[in-house]
A = this chain, B = another copy of it.
Amino acid sequence: MGTPDHGAVTLRDLAADLALSHSTVSRALADHPNVKPETKLRVQARARALGYVPNGLAQSMRGSHGPVLGLVIPDIRNDFYATVAQIVGDAAAERGFHLALSITGDDPDREMGDVRALLVSRAAGVIITPTANARRETLAMLRGVNATQLVRCHDGLEHEAVLIDDQAGVGAATRHLVHHGHRQIAYVGTHREISCGRERHDGFCAVMREHGLDAGRVALGPPRPEFAQHAVTALLSAQPRPSALVVGSSSLTIGALQALRGLSLRWPQDISIVGYGDPVWFRLIGDGLTTVQLPVQDMGRYAASVLQLRFESDAQSGAVALGQVATRFAPALVVRGSTAPCHSK
């Protein structure tokens, strides 16, 4: 009862109702030139009246792909990825595509399942932030797909990568602290299996060594706040306590701040801290958090544009794959109230 189905009224139903052939109806709705303007209007009116909705599955079965743009990310509650989702969603909608969102939680199996689903749905393009230990099968499936890697890039993938200049970002943060007289600086970041974890750590080490400082106060782990909370608590319980902390991940920044609260350390009085990323609330914390701001908008837009989405069944357009084209976007250090000159003796 009720409505039989979605809009079970098909092109043929319409045609029957109008005593026309389905081809004419099809052309009329597509505004094809070879159809009498009069019939066109008649058909379109009736279509509206009967609530006809074209079946997109049937439509795209003829082309080489469906109207789907896949976005595969680890965490949507992370403001960085949420912003990416928004940008990419806009870009997709503009071109008549769905945004198929997959949230992996950094689980390689979930990632594999979702990528497979994307293939099955014949997604026109995929933007992916690959997990650290992506399954071989995931990589295999991805090759030959119109994809872009987003923040991390995986050795086993040859797709163009849209990256942050992470080394420069963390480097700037570290240098900022050094210039404020800090000598004992700790770093907490994601482990080196993740490409950006590696580079951020390298950025820290490079600047520390460059100034002849000890780059040993480091904790690397998974991109979860809980890790940072524990790690930072440990790092700051050591004697002598570091006078400053660099965080190399937005999710870890939350955990780091929680740790500081737990230890009753005020910033910047007791310790200076530089975060990563820049959700709006970073401005509201204390006198504002000094942080490495990322060009999210630019990255999202660029990643979408790389995919060259079209509805036509042309596709390939080359499938260049000249091995690992990588574009790096420069972050910017924003100095706010969580860092101050070092006043320890």
Contacts and interface: CB of A to CB of B under 8 A. Distances in A.
B76 A143 contact: no
Interface residues of A, number: 70
Nearest to A100: B98
A235 B103 CA distance: 41
A144 interface: yes
Nearest to A96: B117
Interface in A110-136: 110, 113-114, 116-117, 119-122
A165 to B, nearest CB: 24
B54 A6 contact: no
B281 A122 contact: no
A240 interface: no
Contacts of A64: 5-6, 8
Contacts of A141: 53
A99 B99 CA distance: 8
A261 interface: yes
A79 interface: yes
Contacts of A144: 2-3, 6-7
Contact of A57 (B4, B121, B258): B121
- Of the listed residues A4, A8, A85, A99, the one surrounded by the most CB atoms of chain B closer than 10 A to its CB is A99
A65 interface: yes
Interface in A203-259: 225, 254, 257-258
Interface string A86-115: 100110010010111111000000100110
A89 B61 contact: no
A280 B121 contact: no
Contacts of A316: 1-2, 4-5
A7 B285 contact: no
Given A77-B86, A100-B99, A285-B285, A120 B54 contact: yes
A261 B285 CA distance: 10
Interface string A56-98: 1111110011111000000011010011011001100100101
Given A5-B64, A7-B144, 15 more contacts: A1-B316, A53-B120, A55-B61, A55-B120, A57-B60, A57-B122, A77-B79, A77-B83, A77-B86, A90-B103, A93-B110, A99-B101, A254-B281, A258-B284, A281-B281
26 contacts: A1-B319, A2-B316, A3-B319, A6-B122, A55-B61, A55-B122, A56-B120, A56-B121, A57-B66, A67-B117, A67-B121, A76-B85, A76-B89, A77-B79, A77-B83, A89-B102, A98-B100, A99-B101, A99-B102, A100-B101, A225-B280, A254-B280, A257-B284, A261-B283, A261-B284, A284-B285
